[in-house]
Structure 1
């Protein structure tokens, strides 16, 4: 078994079981920067003007390490949720109220480049199938009004070292797919039976958070043999068939072309390969290179995708001690900037909480300050969000040493943005979801979680906020709740059966999706203290409402 990479430094947000810690991503400049500073603790609300200095208070709690150590550490983290978090300072000045039109940033001459040597799919041989005994046992604990566990699956892949990240879920048609270690697999959304399995010859380093409209994803694997090769091989996979299409090795294009892990997203028919120094984009259909680094001192290093292609760009202008970065919207076919927003000097682009509307997290490492900025669809500053709380965006551990901008648990619609607060101390700690106005930056409403619970945004749906309510250590099961526009009391959509609480809590950094009345929870990483233990880990649980009973409110 191979050993995992060193555990990265912690960042300014509190670690929240079961979502994992938001670890500080290094700003990407040339040459690479040094060690990150520790994140701030609580701070007062300084209002619309810039705060006077770094927030003071306790440092962040270490986030759960992935894999085999995750179970014990997750329980410890749950007890220590009081520490960490951060308050925001409103951003102002440095041309933040205007956007500069640009035509040449990030564009390069299109170039071909296709290297096709796909691995063959492994079929469904050896599939242990969904765990029907566990599903029956959990459903036997249901009370009137509880959701039904339609199916659950345990891990059947031998992962190395302390474990491996599980990517996805992606849904297309009647298939839900995940990727773990060297395997991408598709399952029936109805009963959890494996429809196909694609076994690759190299470890999967990461995968696009989105699938294309026609059900294709791109995974990044290591090159060479073993676990020491750089993560620079793109492979397109069709989730409808479980077949690999094109394969492309991202070429090294300069001295500072650093392949830590690629920032890989899909927008339309474009997939990116962002990294420090040089970034490249390819056509999703055939792997042809579309564009690379353009002229000028500023170049994209990380991307957020989906409805638009948003780039975080770093400027090599001799100010390595005070980062100079930009936010851009790029034409996904040419790489040309449709607009460029100059970020306040000293801040770097940390996360993209929402692409449409655009909400971006910025972090000033030297001063331990964080800003949260909403931009218009033309790149003009819309509002800087300010609040007195410690906030918990629930970002994945993969944000740590990577350029993965889209791993956080927040929600937004045309006019509002929602984020959870850090829970109060202890096993019975609770928290709130705070809803901000994207036009003024001010708090519109606070939504307390049910007593003794923690709650996090899932997404907006038809004006309502969908929220995940976590299971408790006192036996309370998880829930899916909705909050009507303007309301401050959550209403239960799905109350999970009591028997699901223990396996749900045992999932490391889980991610959830709610589509067509089905609530599916997927573990973010898989591991155990032994091979036997890692095979006991729940990887996916899928619930739906029992239409014969009335759904209660909490």
Structure 2
């Protein structure tokens, strides 16, 4: 939220001064730091073929898939960036998880609103048709050594009480508007449907991952609990589920029948592992099967795991392998382990019908490189494999179907966004000379392939937000056929606008609140000649500070309602922390 002219930064929802422009979570993501370098898939040429000559008889530099790099938008070679600045941390090189060696963890306070909570890239993907932004974390699990995971049925939760209790302030809710937030609402502004405070968290902070919206229920995880609210009024849909220890991973997506899986620690000591799985029905709050994930090898433990759903398969990832479970029963299906001479699965990304694996190969040798494979979710059989050139790392998947990947080359300080077709063949790469500003989450011991929001993809187009350090920006529609810009649209206010998803042939985007106006949900036609924004929802001005103060916010647009929630609790005692908020007409 920018401040009015000639005024100092105002305190945000947590009572701490906001950061000045340019210091927010996006961190000024850069384009390539030097003229285009050979891309991830460029051998001397595609599959070892000689390079083609450029337009003036000189060899063109190869792109990430062995394709010639393109010049900038005005025919000049691409520069380090629009401002000639060197790359900043956070875009090309997503940060490590708080607590990793040499890494400063996120601040302990200060709400910065949706898409401003973490440095790095973000992708907004439409998960299970919900347009939920915010992704799964994908690490790789292993199957070797240790006991096999055992699935078992757990007890169902106690039935929730009846009536509409007062909001106790612990996140369980009660009553649609206990704080009278709709008092003073102006004509044309949306209603605050409900607003929930977060449960108490330790002083060191706690994760509040995941947000799942069905036709009936809005479900949110926070610290050791999972809460379910009725979408219309925020009343408890079922009694909160309390787990024995803190939640350490969740599936960002859900199954077709409304099931998710959360992982929680097996203890509270420094040696505890993230190896306990719990299936949950989103609409009923019923706890289904449980399982304990076994350790793999010496460097392949369950200190950190990542979860993804693909069809009826749950893939649990560690750092060097993966274990698949049947989502209906919790029975183990297969392991994905080391293959070839030295290739270790290190990350997974899942969609309705596809499961993608990224492996690290030749580590410590002379041919270090990544490989991308598509797996049959039910059997783990490899459908195709695509090697990536040495020096390039597959960091994110902006979409699984179609497959759009974001890659970095740390040595060359370069990045690349490319699309692969259904057979793993290179289709196109982004050729737009621009600074883009999606945001990605933290990752511990793993690549969080789907942990991004602020980006949307449909069958033919990639939608990326440009970066202006918090001011008015643009959304650029990039063709997946040739990587060129199809059109661009500017934010309707002086605040940044970010894609949320595609619905009914229109792009849905979120416009951040300003000092004198609440945020907006807008739609943009994806076809035709006009791409102006149409306002779908105008959030109230008098709750703009609350809206802006959601730390590390995730957003969703489902059924004409707009939801936002925190994904990290600071543990601050200065004020009651925010957990979730819903707006609608």
TM-score range, shorter chain: 0.7 to 0.9
The answer to whether the 8 A contact 2:311-2:377 is kept is: yes
**Alignment gaps of 5+ in structure 2:** 1-20, 37-62, 71-76, 99-103, 123-141
After superposition, where does 1:6-405 map in structure 2 within 5 Å? 17=24, 20=25, 43=33, 46=36, 48-49=68-69, 57-58=85-86, 60=88, 69-71=108-110, 74=112, 113-116=149-152, 118=154, 121=157, 124=160, 128=168, 130=173, 137-155=180-198, 157-196=199-238, 197-226=240-269, 228-294=271-337, 295-296=339-340, 297-319=342-364, 323-396=368-441, 398-399=442-443, 401-405=445-449
Is 1:476 paired with 2:485? no
Cα offsets for 1:202-243 (capped at 9, x unmatched): 110010001111111111111234464121222212223223
The answer to whether the 8 A contact 2:324-2:332 is kept is: yes
The answer to whether the 8 A contact 1:298-1:313 is kept is: no
Cα distance in 1 for residues equivalent to 2:376 and 2:481: 26
The answer to whether the 8 A contact 1:449-1:455 is kept is: yes
TM, length-normalised to structure 1:
0.78
Cα distance in 1 for residues equivalent to 2:522 and 2:321: 43
CA drift of 1:61 comes to: 6.6
The answer to whether the 8 A contact 1:45-1:388 is kept is: no
**Alignment gaps of 5+ in structure 1:** 1-13, 24-38, 87-105, 546-554
CA drift of 1:309 comes to: 3.4
Cα distance in 2 for residues equivalent to 1:324 and 1:162: 37
Q: CA RMSD in A?
A: 3.5
Cα distance in 2 for residues equivalent to 1:452 and 1:247: 48
Cα distance in 1 for residues equivalent to 2:368 and 2:155: 42
Are the structure 2 counterparts of residues 214 and 15 from structure 1 closer, same or farther at C-alpha, using a change threshold of 3 Å? farther
Cα distance in 1 for residues equivalent to 2:389 and 2:542: 50
Cα distance in 2 for residues equivalent to 1:524 and 1:494: 23
Which of 534, 537, 540 lines up with 2:577 in the alignment?
Answer: 537
Are the structure 2 counterparts of residues 378 and 131 from structure 1 closer, same or farther at C-alpha, using a change threshold of 3 Å? same
Q: Which range moves more in the overlay, 248-257 or 453-462?
A: 248-257
CA drift of 1:269 comes to: 1.4
Cα distance in 2 for residues equivalent to 1:252 and 1:543: 43
Q: Which range moves more in the overlay, 117-126 or 189-198?
A: 117-126
Are the structure 2 counterparts of residues 321 and 121 from structure 1 closer, same or farther at C-alpha, using a change threshold of 3 Å? farther
CA drift of 1:335 comes to: 0.6
Are the structure 2 counterparts of residues 116 and 379 from structure 1 closer, same or farther at C-alpha, using a change threshold of 3 Å? same
Are the structure 2 counterparts of residues 365 and 323 from structure 1 closer, same or farther at C-alpha, using a change threshold of 3 Å? farther
Are the structure 2 counterparts of residues 400 and 419 from structure 1 closer, same or farther at C-alpha, using a change threshold of 3 Å? farther
CA drift of 1:123 comes to: 5.6
Query: SS state of the match for residue 412, structure 2?
Result: coil
Q: Which range moves more in the overlay, 202-211 or 483-492?
A: 483-492
Please identify which structure carries the higher helix content: 1
Which of 484, 500, 504 lines up with 1:462 in the alignment?
Answer: 504
CA drift of 1:259 comes to: 3.1
TM, length-normalised to structure 2:
0.74
The answer to whether the 8 A contact 1:399-1:405 is kept is: no
Is 1:446 paired with 2:488? yes
Q: Which residue of 1 aligns with 2:53?
A: none
Cα offsets for 1:516-548 (capped at 9, x unmatched): 111111122223431x62xx2221111112xxx
Aligned positions, number: 482
The answer to whether the 8 A contact 2:416-2:429 is kept is: yes
Are the structure 2 counterparts of residues 237 and 153 from structure 1 closer, same or farther at C-alpha, using a change threshold of 3 Å? same
Cα distance in 2 for residues equivalent to 1:541 and 1:107: 40
CA drift of 1:403 comes to: 2.9
